[in-house]
Structure 1
Amino acid sequence: MSLIRKTILHVETVYMDGLKAGERPLKMVAAAAILRNPWVGRGFVEDLSPEIRDIAPQLSEHLTKLIIDEIGSGDAVEAFGKSAVVGLDGELEHASALIHTLHFGNIYRSAVKAKSYLAFTNTRGPANAPILVPMMDKNDEGRRSHYLTLQFAVPDAPAADEIVVVLGGATAGRPNHRIGDRYSDLKELGHDVENPAAVK
C-alpha cells in the first residue's frame, strides 16, 4: 500500500502473573500500520466513505496476515481487538473511520472464525502516544478471562499527518484468572442468561 510508511509487530509472551506461573503461556500480538492520513490537508471532508472502502480492506488483509503468521493459525487466536491513533492534524473521526467499518473488521473476524465484535480504542495523540489494544474472547463477550489489554508505543508515530491502525490477537486468557464471568454474576443477581458460546 502506497499510504503505509511502515508496519510494526509487537509481541509479548506472559508466563507468570502474581508470582505464579499460568497453566499455559499467554502470547499477545499487535500488528500496526503507520500510514498517511488521507483526509489531512483537505479541510472538513463530509464523506469519508471512498477512502474507507479503498483503504480499510487493504489494511485489514495486511495486518490480519501479520497476526496469523505470528500466532500460527486463525484457530489459535482466542481473543482479539483493534485500535487506531490519529496524529494531531487529524480528526478523531479519521481514526474511527478506518477501524469502525465491516470493510475492516470482517476480514479479521472471518480469518479467525469469530462471532464477537472487536473490542476497540480510537484516540488522538503525538508520536510515542500510548497505544492500547483491548481484547476479548472472539466468541464469548462475557468470558472475563480473556479481557486483555496490550500496550505499546511507536517512538516516531503517529506524525501529525499520520494514523496508526492496529489489530491485536491473543492465544489465551490472563494467567491465573479467577474472577468468573458475566453469566455467573447475572445468575447470582437473578438473571439466568445462557452463555452464547455454549449454545450448539
Structure 2
Amino acid sequence: MFEIRRVLTHVEDIFHEFGPAPAQPLRRGAIAAVMTNPFAGRYEAKIEHAMEALKPIGFDMAQRLLAAMAVPHASIEGYGKGAIVGSRGELEHGALWHVPGGYAMRELLEKNGVPTNAIVPSTKKVGAPSTALDVPLTHVNASYVRSHFDAIEVRVPGAPAADELVYILAMSTGQRVHARVGGLAKEAIVGKDGLR
C-alpha cells in the first residue's frame, strides 16, 4: 500500500550553544521515509485501515533511527514525529502516522526498559518538494519537563512529490544544551500520567 522511495537519516551532536560545553553533547536524530500516498488526488472517506499497513514501517524506522544514533536505549530522553504531505494529498493523510509512528518508538523503548508515558508530540503540513518541517520533541515520560521542549528541522531534498508522503520520527538524548528556564526537572518526574 505504501511504497518507500527514499529514506533519509540525520544525526547531530550539539556541543554548546555559545555557553560552556556540557559534560555530554546532546545528540538528536531524525529519520524520514518518502513513500507513495495511496490516497493522493482524491477524497476517500475511510482511510483509517491504512494505519495497520504503516505499523511495520514505523517500527523499522524506529529501529533504524536508534541504530544510526548509536546510543543505548536508556539514553533516549526525547521523542517526536511528523509528516509532510505532497500537494495532491490532504492533511489527514499525515495524521495516519500518529499511531504507527508514535507507538513504534514507545514500543521499542519500553521493550528496552525506558518508560514512555508521555504522548509523542507531532506536527504535519501539506508542502511542496523540499519543504522543511520542525518536528517537536518532548520528554519521553513526562510532557511537562520544560528543559526537553525542543524541535529538530527535517527536510528531504526534492520530496515529497505531489503524490508522496514523508513520514518522520525523531529522538534526542536529553535536554536543550543550556536549558535554564525552570519548570519540572527530569529528576522530579513521577511518571504516572505522562504529564508529570
TM range (shorter): 0.7 to 0.9
Task: Check whether the contact 1:80–1:169 (CA below 8 A) recurs between aligned residues.
Answer: yes
Deviations 1:75-101, CA, capped at 9 Å, x for gaps: 22110000000011100110111x222
**1:63 counterpart (41, 61, 68):** 61
Q: TM-score, normalised by structure 2?
A: 0.87
Gaps of 5+ in 2: 111-115
Tell me which amino acid in the other structure corresponds to 1:164: V
Task: Check whether the contact 2:81–2:101 (CA below 8 A) recurs between aligned residues.
Answer: no
Task: Check whether the contact 1:121–1:133 (CA below 8 A) recurs between aligned residues.
Answer: yes
**Aligned residue in 2 for 1:150:** 152
**Aligned residue in 2 for 1:11:** 11
Q: Distance in 2 between matches of 1:16 and 1:9?
A: 22
**Aligned residue in 1 for 2:48:** 49
| Equivalences for residues 132-143 of structure 1 within 5 A | 132-143=134-145
Given the superposition, is the C-alpha separation of residues 171 and 115 from structure 1 closer, same or farther in structure 2, using an over 3 Å criterion?
same
Superposed displacement of residue 70, structure 1 = 2.0
Task: Check whether the contact 2:117–2:192 (CA below 8 A) recurs between aligned residues.
Answer: no
Task: Check whether the contact 2:81–2:121 (CA below 8 A) recurs between aligned residues.
Answer: yes
1:119 aligns with 2:134: no
Q: The residue matched to 1:31 in structure 2 has which SS?
A: strand
The root-mean-square deviation of aligned C-alpha atoms, in Å, is: 2.0
Q: The residue matched to 1:75 in structure 2 has which SS?
A: helix
**Aligned residue in 1 for 2:102:** 105
Q: Distance in 1 between matches of 2:179 and 2:161?
A: 38
**2:182 counterpart (180, 183, 197):** 180
Task: Check whether the contact 1:32–1:164 (CA below 8 A) recurs between aligned residues.
Answer: yes
Gaps of 5+ in 1: 184-193
Q: Structure 1 vs Structure 2: percent identity of aligned residues?
A: 28
Q: The residue matched to 2:56 in structure 1 has which SS?
A: helix
Given the superposition, is the C-alpha separation of residues 77 and 195 from structure 1 closer, same or farther in structure 2, using an over 3 Å criterion?
closer
Q: Distance in 1 between matches of 2:149 and 2:49?
A: 34
**Aligned residue in 2 for 1:84:** 83
Task: Check whether the contact 2:34–2:159 (CA below 8 A) recurs between aligned residues.
Answer: yes
